[in-house]
Amino acid sequence: MLNPSRPSAESPILQVRGLARTFGGIVAVKDFSVDVYAGSIHGLIGPNGAGKTTTFNVISGFYAPSAGKIIYLGRDISGHETSALAAIGLIRTFQGATLFNQLSVLDNVRVGCHGGAKANLLRRVFGRDRATEAKADRKARDILDFFGLQALADEFATNLPHGHQRALGMAVALAAEPKLLLLDEPFTGMNPEETRRMAGLVRRLRDEQGVTIMLIEHDMQAVMGICETITVMNFGTLLAQGTPEDVRANRSVIEAYLGSPGDAA
């Protein structure tokens, strides 16, 4: 088991309270609250510009909140640095792939094992003592096995097909030992088969590694198929929350996606 410190189920690992974030005059997020339960796969959906990515950016420390609180594992982490949050298992991925294209698949994951910062990359990968290196190497290979990428360990990341690059992105994230993993549109640009495989990996990350997952996604079929709880944002705030069935049947959610009748002209 790569991540033995499994958080206890049925308690919130993350509590967002009254969150707001503005950019000049733009209100990207306002009075948004959500609880994410340990061991769950929790979807965050909503129309374009609803404030989903901004919410992830604030939770993960890329932006400070303009107002509100973020409680992670019972601690107030509002405004904490990304690196400090990563060190306590709060990890996010980005809308696009963020791999080191000219490193091998294995080395990408080894960089992730060392914290993943771009600075001092060579020292991070190659400059450790041999015992540390051997340990990182073993861990990286275990992670590649988990994602079914072991046969590609020596390939340059840039040579991988799209679906494998996205799986590698997830492998790098797992190397950082997340307790809560925030995935921003993990299925974007994937064909149905790639999406199905990626969804399987997300589920296994939760089931076998004990990672709690919060994910933003526009692919409704994928979201509904994989998440136990779905939170819907619109205009920066909470519109609805519930099981996939609740959300699918919710009138205001349907209207938010279809637009009001007046918008259809």
Ligand X SMILES: Nc1ncnc2c1ncn2[C@@H]1O[C@H](COP(=O)(O)OP(=O)(O)OP(=O)(O)O)[C@@H](O)[C@H]1O
Task: Rank residues 32 and 100 by Cβ distance to ligand X and give the closer one.
Answer: 32
Contact partner at residue 54 from Mg ion, ligand X, none, CB < 5 to 8 Å by partner kind: ligand X
Lay out the site mask for Mg ion across 4-43 (x = CB under 5 A, - = otherwise): ----------------------------------------
Would you count residue 51 as binding ligand X (CB under 6 A)? yes
Contact 244, 224 (CB under 8 A): yes
Residues ≥6 apart with Cβ < 8 Å to 96? none
- CB burial of 246-261 (b: ≥16 within 10 Å; e: otherwise) equals ebeebeebeebeeeee
Residue 229 binding Mg ion, by CB under 5 A: no
Asked if 54 is part of the footprint of ligand X (rule: CB under 6 A), the reply reads yes
Which residue, 230, 206, 228, 207, is CA-closest to 218?
230
Per CB under 6 A, does 92 bind ligand X? no
**Is there binding between residue 55 and Mg ion (CB under 5 A)?**
no
Q: CA-CA distance, 34 to 29, in Å (whole number)?
A: 13
148 contributes a contact to ligand X by CB under 6 A: no
Task: Establish if 60 lies at the interface with Mg ion (CB under 5 A).
Answer: no
DSSP at 104 = B
**Residue count, binding to Mg ion (CB under 5 A):** 1
Residues 6+ apart with CB under 8 A from 250: 232, 240, 242
3-state secondary structure of 141: helix
Cα–Cα distance measured from residue 100 to residue 4, given in angstroms and rounded to the nearest whole number = 28
Class of residue 67 by CB neighbours under 10 A (exposed 0-12, middle 13-18, buried 19+): middle
Q: Shortest Cβ contact with Mg ion: which residue?
A: 53
For residue 249, CA distances in Å to 30, 141, 196 come to 25, 44, 24
23 binds, options ligand X, Mg ion, none, Cβ within 5 to 8 A by partner type? ligand X
Q: Which residue, 51 or 65, is less far from ligand X as judged by CB?
A: 51
| Least spacing, CB of residue 180 vs ligand X, in Å | 18
Give which of ligand X, Mg ion, none residue 46 binds (C-beta under 5 to 8 Å, depending on kind): ligand X
Q: Is 23 in the site for ligand X (CB under 6 A)?
A: yes
Minimum distance between the CB of residue 53 and ligand X, rounded to whole angstroms?
3
Q: Which of 4, 5, 10, 48 touches ligand X by CB under 6 A?
A: 48
Q: Does 53 bind Mg ion (CB under 5 A)?
A: yes
Dihedral of the alpha carbons of 196, 137, 184, 45, in degrees to the nearest 10: 50
| Residues at the site binding ligand X, with contacts judged by CB under 6 A | 23, 26, 28, 46, 48-54
| Residues at the site binding Mg ion, with contacts judged by CB under 5 A | 53
